[in-house]
Amino acid sequence: MTQPRSIPRSGSVTTSDFPGFSASPSASFVHRSNSISTSPTLSTLHQVRPPKVLHQLDSGDLKVLILENISQQAVNAFKDAGFQVDFNTKAWSEDELVEKIGQYHAIGIRSKTKITAKVLKAASKLLVIGCFCIGTNQVDLETAAKIGIPVFNSPFSNSRSVAELVMSEVIALSRQLVDRANEMRQGTWNKVSKSCWEVRGKTLGIVGYGHIGAQLSVLAEAFAMRVLYYDVLNIMPLGNATQVETLEDLLASSDFVTLHVPELPETINMISTPQLEAMKEGAYLINNARGKVVDIPALIQALKSKKLAGAAIDVFPAEPGANGAGTFNNQLNAWTTELTSLPNIILTPHIGGSTEEAQRAIGYEVSSALVRYLTYGSTMGAVNFPEVDLRPISADQTSLVRVCHVHKNEPGVLKKVNAILGNYNVEKQFSDSKGDIAYLMADISGVSEKDVHDLQTQINQTRSNVLTRLLS
């Protein structure tokens, strides 16, 4: 479940922190090849001269495409940075993206828009992708990295919102609240206590003890629940939660099982007939993770046979691309009607992180990361890219240029690039690699406007070049 990836935290930066920021295209240079220990955080440095955004001379101002009704705070952050922003409330299909994405330098999406290899091939100007959510499986991360496009997300900002939703579902399932509420709407008075339970003293089993799972365990203990958790990593618990060795141990001991895992090959259908049979008689299943981790037809059979007493599902294998009546139907998922007809089941439209607080936090975090990359070259927090950063250029370094060089991870690259930079004073430099891709940032001084063109040309002509930007 929780992936062992270190996520360094750096100060969030908006252009309002840097008076005098310019997004002028008048000194802009970007080239993408046809072939495919961190510095001090920006928030600790003051009185700095922000670099200008550099892109192709004929490309105009940087354009950002925002889809899926992302927080207006994010939209405002991009506008404050001097970017042109096109905002849409709905997801775009692959065909729409292929047709239109070629004009944009950055894109912000949530979970419904799919950035495939076909879309990336059409994205001739694209520099960066922002996933305004936890997951990034909607993006072809490997292809994006190979063509020099980092992908950023917000792995923690909605953790509390999801944890609170799970606790509400635990109580609602144990008291059959959804069924009673629906009966009242139909004029039926059905006051019953049979098969309705307190959650106090019951066992909550958490599959995936990451940020959501850990927060959830604290909330559950406040309700006097016993908490077990299973994770592929050994993780120190919060409170009195207990880690179990196997998923089967957790399933056999839990009254409520809640899933908080990413969508990976090993987690697809991780809850199917054998796992459902291993659960306690009359237990409840909750999935606010990813739609494909539960075998829905198998769950339907477990509910029909009364093996399970109820379930709460917030995510589905296929989900509508937009809100609207009739969009969640059998054409989308063949079992929809059968699922919606079952008693004591809570079905919600992927709203785990859909709170005002979470969306504001996500909007701020991801937009800050994208602005940092576009204006400073920082890739801290990127999920598919080497994480590299340099301290900002100071105000008195007027002839200083920042080289942001994405290249293939192969021997001899730094030797060739440093030979090109050897005619200048390299003020600072940092490089790192991840898989087949490496990323170099270097600040060089004493560079004239003519030198910039020559420098750009020489780096572009190196065999390993993927994408090079110069910021000044």
Positions annotated as catalytic residues are 290, 319, 350
Residue type, 299: L
Burial zone of 164 (CB within 10 Å; 0-12 exposed, 13-18 middle, 19+ buried): middle
Residue type, 43: S
Tokens of 201: 């003293």
How far the first Cα of the chain sits from its last, in Å, is 42
DSSP-assigned letters across all residues of 212-248 = HHHHHHHHHHHTT-EEEEE-SS--PPSTT-EE-S-HH
Residues 118 and 96 sit within 8 Å (Cβ to Cβ):
no
Location of structure tokens 């291993």: 278
As separate numbers, helices (DSSP H) first and strands (DSSP E) second, the chain gives 14, 17
Q: Percent helix, strand, coil in the chain (nearest 5)? A: 30, 20, 50
Tokens of 151: 């992908």
Residue type, 160: R
Please list, in sequence order, all residues whose beta carbon lies within 8 angstroms of the beta carbon of residue 235, skipping any fewer than 6 positions away.
2, 209, 214, 229, 243
**Alpha carbons 34 and 382: distance in angstroms, whole number:** 23
**Alpha carbons 388 and 381: distance in angstroms, whole number:** 9
Helix (H, G, I), strand (E, B) or coil at 420: helix
Burial 242-259 (b: 16+ CB within 10 A, else e): ebbeebeebbebbbbbbb
The angle subtended at Cα 410 by Cα 404 and Cα 411, nearest 5°, is 105
Helix (H, G, I), strand (E, B) or coil at 56: coil
Residues 14 and 81 sit within 8 Å (Cβ to Cβ):
yes
* Cβ atoms < 10 Å from Cβ of 446: 12
Burial zone of 76 (CB within 10 Å; 0-12 exposed, 13-18 middle, 19+ buried): middle
Among the listed residues 411, 318, 324, 314, the one whose alpha carbon sits nearest the alpha carbon of residue 354: 314
